[in-house]
Amino acid sequence: MPQKLHCARCGRVTLRPAVVIGAQPFGRVCARKAGLIEPKRRGRASEACRDTRTLDLFGSAHA
């Protein structure tokens, strides 16, 4: 049976470590918190394309 890898920072079992430094594996969340990999790029609402053919769900509902 293969040996389970444990994150060097938090101790959780990591099936696919994001970073391995020497013999110490780091999970993706811990690697991101430690600054070893770049954080996710978030999409901005201003960059989203507005669909002009679809009506708003609550936009024109005036009582």
Would you state the pLDDT for residue 22?
94
The mean per-residue pLDDT over the stretch 25-44 comes to: 88
Residues 6+ apart with CB under 8 A from 10: 27, 30
Mean pLDDT value across residues 48-56: 74
Conformation bin of residue 11: beta by default, left when phi > 0, alpha when psi is -120 to 50: left
In the prediction, which pLDDT does 43 show? Answer: 65
Helices assigned H by DSSP within the chain = 28-33
pLDDT bracket for residue 62 (50, 70, 90): low
pLDDT value at residue 44: 67
Q: What is the pTM of this model?
A: 0.60
| CA 62 from centre of chain | 39
